[in-house]
Amino acid sequence: MKTTVLFRNKSGRRGTSRRFFTLMELVAATGIMLSVAGIIGFASHTFYKSVASAQKVTTRLKKLVNVDQLMDGCFRNMIPFNWVYEDEYDDTYQVFMGEEDFIHFTTLRRSYDQDTGCLFFVRVYLEDNGDLIAEYSKFPRLPWMEDVEEMPYESEVITSDVDSISFLYAGVDLDGETVVWREYWSREDYDFIPHAVQLTIKWKDGSEECWLRRTAASGSNSAYGGLQTIDE
């Protein structure tokens, strides 16, 4: 680079003088510009990395919150509901079915003016694509019968990217002194619903989360810590 300097000579006339930057000045200027560019690049990389990390945490938190809402809104309000067949036997069945990766139960919900009732018939299961699905119906949906088209239901994707789910069901054993955890809970074995339900979700990224909720039917069998817990 070169600069132009204005001056006056001995005769008083204006003249010009050209001076070039030295090599050291060019090296110093280049070093400063490279340093500034490096600082800007590092700051930009850190910023975008922080944004990506925050988005990842926000997405995972949203998934966990959705499952929390399902557990608090439905599982915590789970109640026993009997269905009576009007035939010569008048058999009564508990509207509940609990398997290792599927659950069907009755829960309480908020009722509004001119509503059809305060019950929800809920079933939760995992789709093959990794979506955890919850289905809700205001009309009785019996787990041992095929779906009836006249009984509509609402379907909701609770969370996605799920590798597997597993339920555990807690109930007081026949001796009345032991809490037993089972992988299955059917109407043939029990005439009451579980006192607590545990849901474990394993995500496709290898992480795992667990939720445990007591049901609304557990109050009559509470022992305030006086029971022994065993696995079966």
| pLDDT 10s digits, 3-14 | 554 545 555 555
Mapped onto helix, strand or coil, the DSSP state of residue 46 is helix
Contact 78, 217 (CB under 8 A): yes
Domains of the chain by residue range:
70-231
pLDDT digits (tens, 9 = 90+) for 169-228: 998 776 667 788 999 998 777 778 898 999 999 999 999 999 999 998 766 554 444 444
Q: What residues contact residue 9 under an 8 Å CB cut-off, 6+ apart?
A: 15
User: pLDDT value at position 7?
Assistant: 46
> What is the average per-residue pLDDT within 56-81?
88
**Angstrom distance (rounded) from CA 45 to CA 51:** 10
Strands 162-172, 2-8: pairing is unpaired
Contact 132, 160 (CB under 8 A): yes
